[in-house]
Structures are given as structure tokens and as C-alpha cells.
Amino acid sequence: MEFIHFSVGMFSRFVFFYPFIMSLFWMAGALLFYLYRERHESVDFESINWPMVSFVVPCYNEKSTISETIRHLSEMPYPKKEIIAINDGSTDGTAEVLEHLARQYKALRVINCAENCGKANSLHLACHAANAEYLICVDADAILDSDAAYYLVYQFLHKGERVGAVTGNPRVRNRSTLLSKLQIVEYASIVGSIKRTQRMIGKVMTVSGVVVAFRKKALVDVGLWDRDMITEDIAVSWKLQRRFWDIRYEPRALCWMLVPETIRGIWKQRLRWAQGGEEVLLRHGSIFLDWKQRRLWPIYVEQCASVFWSFSWLVLMIWKQFTAQSWQEHVIWLSYASFVLVAMSFLQLLTATLIDSKHDDVRRYLLVACWYPIFYWMLSTLVVIVAFPKAVRARLRGGYAVWASPDRGTNKPL
């Protein structure tokens, strides 16, 4: 019995201190990135001879969004470009829309696939068809900022030949509902802070699939994208870094995207993300057998700790429910821990929004922050737990990882 109480005490400390310490870590890393790599750096667009870029847009059932995305890419001021749209067996008329757009925009080429074989397979086809050394992959619902391509390509030209990929800065453009506003808070306080901190360490968990640039030579070196992984962006990030290609984060490369505005849509999206992260952990555990891969170890361990935290939180909640001497004792314990962690979460949010306000001023959404920790922790915990057996089955099964068109929310002005 003493051993059980000791174990529960250790679980309790881990459940409390892990998010507490990681919040401090993300804040410190984000501030260091801002002070040393983000605050003063500028780019003179006119002084650079910009190379050709291939914009790659994979599509599956994107009839309602693809026209806007292609139009914005065509009108971008970047001087040398081509656009490759891949229709991955859509059933909603996307192919017809793309054919019409190809007649309208000379820079656009369309690849039509007879069946849905997944986003990674679409990217494979586009890479083989691309004429440029630099590929910028954009989701079919996203609007790339007019200067984003310059900032992405600049990293390849001036940060060394070992830069294999540059991930951009996704921003939420549908901001009319509580769920979309919560995701604005998330992208500022979680995604932005983590990307900045991981870049300071030197390795990142994943590029952002909605906007990322690749050096084609690096992709070919690692065998392109894994077609059997449900999240091709996480998988290719690890393949690149295991081959010692560098991944950079460019917060000035803004990309405006649509996010889900229903609980069901968010659940499906996050379940896919969690499963993809866990599939990568299962595939790349061998990095600990190679000393040369030691810079990836902290990223791997942190991801494992995050998964373990989710299971620990669930076990602890069930244990407290049935073993607390009274309901009041359970409520007091939970309230104390929640208050401290919510306060730390808000501090992290405040720090991140102040940093991000240089690119996208989201400070007015701080009022919804009171809902954010509850929403994010509960959802993240549940999807990690549900996704784990899915990741194990996918790892054993193999085959193409196909995709479904996600909930895009409502496209309303900012």
C-alpha cells in the first residue's frame, strides 16, 4: 500500500510540474529567439537575385477553397514561379475547377490522380514535376502572405547549404467563433513558442504542413515523403534531420488558413496530428542507438513525456475520484493545481502574443484565454490517448495513408 501511495505521489508531481516547467521553458526559448534571431533581422528584396520557386498545392475535395488559393499565388509579386496543383482523386468537382483555373493562369499546371492515395503521394508527384530547386508547399485552403515566399527562400540563400526546409508561420483567418478564437490563442502561445524554442535548440519536432519550403535536393536525399504516415509533415521533418539537414523557422512567412469551427472537426484534426506524432515516435526510436543523432534526443524525450503526461493525468483523475477522503478534498486539490497551471498558461500566452504582435496583433483575443487551458488540456489529453492504439495499428499495417477533406470553418474577414 505504501508503494501505491508513493507511486500516486510521483504521478501527482509529474502531472503538475511537467506543464509548469515546460511553460517556463517555452517562454524562455521564445524570448531568446526573438531577441537574438527575430528582432533586428531585415531583408532587402530588391538586392537579391531570387531563384525560381515551385508552389505546390495538394488538393482533395477543395472545390470551395482552391480558386482563392490559386488566385493569390498567381498574384504574388515573387518574380520567378510556377504553381503545381495536384488533384488527389477528388469527388466534389475540384478537377473541373482546376482545369478552368489552368486556362486562366499561365503559371498553373494541374496533375489529376484517378484515386485518392494521400497527401504524401501527391507531394511525390509534384516534386518530380517541379522545375525549381525550391518547393513551397501550401494547403488548398491557405492564403500566403505576399512577402512570405521571399522570407522562406532567403533562409536557403543566406543560412547555409545544409538548410533542407523552412517552416512558415500559420495564422488563423476565420475569427468569428469561440472555437476559432481559441485556436488563435493556441497558435500564438503554443505553436509559435514551441517552434521558436526548438529552433534555438537546433531541431524541431515538425514543419507546419500548411506552409513549408523545401530544398528539392534534401527531399531526394531522404527519399521524399513517407506515403504510409498519416502526417507527412512530421515524418519528413524527422527524415531530414536524421540525415543532418537543417530546418529553420521563419515567423515572417505568414500564411492565413481556415481552422475547424466544430468540436467534431477539431477532434478529427487533432486526432490525426496526435496519431502522426506517435507514429513518428514508434518509427524513430532507434535514434538513441546513434550518438550522432543526440541533438534529436531532447525533442524525442519531450514528445514521449507529453504522451506519458496524458495517460498520467487520466489515471490520476480516476484515482483521486475514488480515493479522496471527501469530494471537498478532491475539489481543493484540483482547484489549487489548476489555478497555478492556468496562471502559468496565461503568462505564456501573454509573452507569446507580445512577441507575435509584430507579425499579427492578436492581443485583443486575450479575453478568451480563460477558456483556453481547459479546452486545450482536455482535448489534447483525450486525443493522445485515443490516437495511441491507432498509431500502433498503422505502424503494423502500412500502406497508403489517405486523407479526408477537413472542416474548414467559415471564411469570414479578419
pLDDT at residue 403, as a whole number: 55
Q: Report the C-alpha gap between 100 and 94 in whole angstroms.
A: 10
For residue 369, what pLDDT band results from cuts at 50, 70 and 90? low
Q: Is the pLDDT at 333 greater than 90, yes or no?
A: no
pLDDT at residue 62, as a whole number: 86
Domains and CATH numbers, the chain: 2-31+291-397 (no CATH), 49-262 (3.90.550.10)
Q: Residue with C-alpha cell 472555437?
A: 179
Strands (E) located in 245-382: 246-257
Neighbour-count burial for 117-143, b at 16+ CB within 10 Å, e otherwise: bbbbbbbbbbbeebebebbbbbbbbbb
Number of other residues whose CB lies within 10 A of the CB of residue 385: 15
Q: What is the mean pLDDT of residues 38-63?
A: 85
Q: Considering the chain, what percentage of its residues have pLDDT values greater than 90?
A: 27
Q: Share the mean pLDDT of the chain.
A: 82
Neighbour-count burial for 152-171, b at 16+ CB within 10 Å, e otherwise: bbbbbeeeeeebbbbbbbbb
Q: Tell me the pLDDT tens digit for each residue of 126-183.
A: 999 999 999 999 998 899 998 999 999 999 998 888 999 999 999 888 877 777 777 8
More confident call, 20 vs 409: 20
Q: Is the pLDDT at 101 greater than 60, yes or no?
A: yes
User: Residue 370: which of 342, 347, 399 has the closest Cα?
Assistant: 342
Q: Tell me the pLDDT tens digit for each residue of 191-202.
A: 888 899 999 888
Q: What is the mean pLDDT of residues 382-393?
A: 79
Most confident of 88-97, 107-116, 134-143: 134-143
pLDDT at residue 132, as a whole number: 92
Answer for the pair 231, 279: CB distance below 8 angstroms, yes or no: yes
Q: Is the pLDDT at 383 greater than 90, yes or no?
A: no
Q: Is the pLDDT at 405 greater than 70, yes or no?
A: no
Q: Tell me the pLDDT tens digit for each residue of 238-286.
A: 999 999 999 999 999 999 988 888 888 888 888 888 888 888 888 898 9
* Amino acid at position 101, single letter: L
pLDDT at residue 3, as a whole number: 56
pLDDT at residue 378, as a whole number: 74
Q: Report the C-alpha gap between 159 and 174 in whole angstroms.
A: 34
Q: What is the mean pLDDT of residues 360-385?
A: 73
pLDDT at residue 55, as a whole number: 95
Q: What is the mean pLDDT of residues 287-305?
A: 91
* Amino acid at position 90, single letter: S
Q: Report the C-alpha gap between 405 and 267 in whole angstroms.
A: 14
For residue 38, what pLDDT band results from cuts at 50, 70 and 90? confident
For residue 413, what pLDDT band results from cuts at 50, 70 and 90? very low
Q: Report the C-alpha gap between 234 and 230 in whole angstroms.
A: 9
Q: Tell me the pLDDT tens digit for each residue of 340-363.
A: 777 777 787 888 888 887 777 777
